[in-house]
Structures are given as structure tokens and as C-alpha cells.
Amino acid sequence: MSTDDARRRWEVWREERAEAVSAPYGPLALTGTHWLAEAPEGRIPAIPGRWTPDPGAGSVLLSAAAEDGLTLDGRPLEGRARLRPDGGPAVARVAHGERKLPVLRREGLWAVRVFDPGSPRRRAFAGIDVFDHAVRWALPGRFRPYERERAVLVAHADGRERPLRLSGELVFALGGEEYTLQAGTEADGSLWAVFSDGTSGTAGYRFRFLRLPAPESGRPVTVDFNRAVLPPCAFADHFICPFPPPGNRLPFPVPAGERNPLTR
């Protein structure tokens, strides 16, 4: 691929990325993550209804009156409904006006998230500051899978430690030296790694994510830092992003990819 083609594709990716972040129910719309273990009698100040975990059934029971104004699957909810984890705001069954209320389960704990298209951060969003595209930061590499998946305990943005599942290493070279990033695998086979580098902390973020298409067995991969993205917690305080695992702190600056959200 020519340098011009690579830049054009990167520019399209940048536009699509900004649209996704600023979508009505994108990361900027998240205004709260409410853990039900911390909600007395199932009451959450930010939203109506009574939300009670039912451990035996692996679900949450939601009780609502007509005056609560909640809807379930687009219809007014009056009475009780049993909810299981949603895949995100796009498929959330419960809403309160324009706000979507997806149910979340992490490590056996239940939470309700609030996505509000009218959030202050979404209204103030003016784009994402990025480093300029540089071909030198699209590095040839390979994926070296582990024999079996590993779980490493790492800190998260909310101050808690949780296991991070890792399936292998991205291997690449720079300046004659070989480096690795521990990576996980998504359900579709694509790879992702959370890393920090010599620029971290100088532009409003502490770490970034790198995502790669699903690798073909034995085939090289391109470790393209031009597409390094800010984590969701850079756009809203209520995400619980994982910090880089040991070994994913690169000892040099990577002036490529996203730098900081911009506000009006």
C-alpha cells in the first residue's frame, strides 16, 4: 500500500472513530455506572425503579410503577421484569426517556449504566487530537499465541484490581530491538492490547488501546500505532478500563495515534 493510500484510509478511520465516540449512545454519553451492591433496597438515586439482584436466577429484578416513566422493549413498564446482562446501550431493554439503562455484570456483581445523549461531555465534544500519520509507526510484526489463555491481575480505572485475560503476544521490532505487547482476543478473533509509552501522561491520558484484525495463522500482522486509541475512560469517568499489564509499558515515546479529547 502506498503512503498516500495509507494516509487516506487513516483519515477515513479518524472520521469514523470521532463519529462513534460522539454517537448518541457512544462513550461520551455514559453518565453513571451504579453497582447494585451499593444501592440500598435496590434504589438508585439517578434513575427510578427498584433494581434487585437475584443471584439464584442470575438476573436482576426490576420493579417499576407507571409514574416511574420506565419502558421495557419500547413499552411502558408497570410491574416487574427480569433482566439479564445487556450487550450495551444499543440493545438495552430498559429506557427512561432518551436515556438507555443497560444492565452490566462483572465478577458476579451487578450494575446499571446510564447513557444520556444530552450528557455535558457529549455536548462539549469537539473532536480528538491526534499525532500526525507516520508510516514509520506501522510496524511489521507477528502474533505469538500462548498455549493457553492467561489471566493477569491488573489495576483498573476505578481503583480496583481485576483479572485481565491474555491470549498471546504481539511481537515487533524498532531500532534493531525486539519488543512485545501482551494481547487479548475478542470474540471475533481480533486482537487488542492496552499499553503505555514515553508520551503517556503528557497529553491527558495514561495509557491507550491498540486493536488489530484477527491474525491468520502463521501470517505477519501490522502493529499500526497510528490507530492507537484513547480508552473509553478518557471520555467518561464511569468506565472501568484496565491499566497496562506488566511488560506493556514501552520504554520509548510513541508519537502516533490519539492524544486527547478536545472540548469546545
Tell me the per-residue pLDDT of 68-101, one tens digit each, with 9 for 90 and over: 999 999 999 999 999 999 989 999 999 999 999 9
Residue 51 has pLDDT above 60, yes or no: yes
For residue 215, tell me if it sits in a domain. yes
Domain span at residue 237 reads 3-24+127-263
Task: Indicate the pLDDT class of residue 1, thresholds 50, 70 and 90.
Answer: low
For residue 151, tell me if it sits in a domain. yes
Do 42 and 161 belong to one domain?
no
Do 141 and 200 belong to one domain?
yes
Task: Indicate the pLDDT class of residue 107, thresholds 50, 70 and 90.
Answer: confident
DSSP annotation string for 124-142: HEEEEEEPPP-GGGEEEEE
Do 111 and 131 belong to one domain?
no
Average pLDDT for residues 51-60, to the nearest whole number?
88
pLDDT of residue 98: 97
pLDDT of residue 217: 76
CB atoms within 10 A of CB 171: 16
pLDDT of residue 204: 53
d(CA 95, CA 177): 52
pLDDT of residue 203: 52
For residue 176, tell me if it sits in a domain. yes
Least confident piece of the model among 50-64, 68-82, 110-124, 198-212: 198-212
Do 7 and 136 belong to one domain?
yes
Residue 3 has pLDDT above 80, yes or no: no
Instruction: Find the angle CA(241)-CA(14)-CA(242) to the nearest 5 degrees.
Output: 10
For residue 189, tell me if it sits in a domain. yes
User: Last residue of a domain, which of 63, 91, 116?
Assistant: 116
pTM of structure? 0.90
Most confident of 3-7, 124-128, 195-199: 124-128
pLDDT of residue 55: 78
Number of domains in the chain: 2
For residue 121, tell me if it sits in a domain. no
Average pLDDT for residues 186-190, to the nearest whole number?
91
pLDDT of residue 13: 95
Q: In this structure, what C-alpha cell is assigned to residue 41?
A: 433496597
Average pLDDT for residues 181-185, to the nearest whole number?
96
Residue 224 has pLDDT above 80, yes or no: yes
pLDDT of residue 202: 60
Residue 179 has pLDDT above 70, yes or no: yes
pLDDT of residue 223: 96
Residue 236 has pLDDT above 60, yes or no: yes
For residue 152, tell me if it sits in a domain. yes
Residue 2 has pLDDT above 60, yes or no: yes
Do 105 and 149 belong to one domain?
no
The average confidence (pLDDT) of the chain is: 93
Average pLDDT for residues 188-201, to the nearest whole number?
90
Q: Which is nearest to 189 in space by CA: 161, 221, 227? A: 221
Q: In this structure, what C-alpha cell is assigned to residue 185?
A: 482476543
**Which DSSP helix (H) or strand (E) runs through 151?**
strand 138-155
Do 16 and 136 belong to one domain?
yes
Do 152 and 209 belong to one domain?
yes
For residue 46, tell me if it sits in a domain. yes
pLDDT of residue 6: 87
